[in-house]
């Protein structure tokens, strides 16, 4: 009848993969620390205007925060999709997933198409009443 359980599983996998990808940024921050330490310990570099490892640490920290946040949001969307609640939340997270690369685009678009089907909207409407209804005018 609908593919919501399949998309729930795929969103769970996407959330876990996103959380695993956040480890790349942890490694990036670690490398920034190593580069920063190497430049600080180099006796020939007495007047370095800034620590180049700091750039790696900042970018790694921002990337880590963003990927962990998106991973957690995606896992919650999978949970809500399984319960058939929070239609708007799932819709927004599907749009956010469209910004994250090929897997996110495919999964986000397919989830959005599935969420816009009338029978799926009725499932969510029966559970929570948060689905916008047709304008009577």
Cα separation of 114 and 87, whole Å?
12
| Cβ atoms of 12 and 72 closer than 8 Å | no
User: Which of 24, 71, 34, 70 minimizes the C-alpha distance to 54?
Assistant: 34
pTM attached to this predicted model: 0.82
Q: What are phi and psi of 28, to 5 degrees?
A: -60, -45
Q: 44-84 pLDDT, tens per residue? A: 766 667 778 889 999 999 999 999 999 999 999 999 999 98
Confidence band of 14 (pLDDT split at 50, 70, 90): very high
Cα separation of 89 and 134, whole Å?
19
Q: 24-53 pLDDT, tens per residue? A: 999 999 999 898 887 766 667 666 677 788
Is pLDDT at 130 greater than 60 in this prediction? no
What element of type H or E holds 37?
helix 4-41
Is pLDDT at 13 greater than 70 in this prediction? yes
What is residue 59's predicted lDDT score, i.e. its pLDDT? 95
Q: 79-119 pLDDT, tens per residue? A: 999 998 899 999 999 999 999 989 999 999 999 999 999 88
């Amino acid at each position: 009848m609908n593919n919501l359980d399949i998309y729930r599983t795929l969103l769970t996998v996407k959330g876990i993969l996103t959380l695993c990808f956040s480890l790349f940024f942890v490694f990036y921050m670690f490398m920034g620390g190593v580069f920063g330490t190497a430049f600080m310990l180099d006796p020939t570099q007495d007047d370095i205007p800034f620590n180049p490892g700091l750039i790696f640490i900042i970018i790694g920290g921002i990337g880590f925060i963003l990927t962990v946040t998106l991973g957690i949001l995606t896992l919650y969307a999978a949970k809500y999709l399984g319960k058939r609640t929070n239609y708007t939340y799932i819709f927004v997270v599907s749009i956010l997933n469209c910004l994250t690369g090929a897997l996110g685009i495919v999964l986000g678009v397919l989830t959005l198409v599935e969420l816009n089907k009338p029978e799926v909207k009725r499932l969510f409407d029966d559970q929570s009443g948060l689905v916008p209804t047709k304008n009577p005018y």
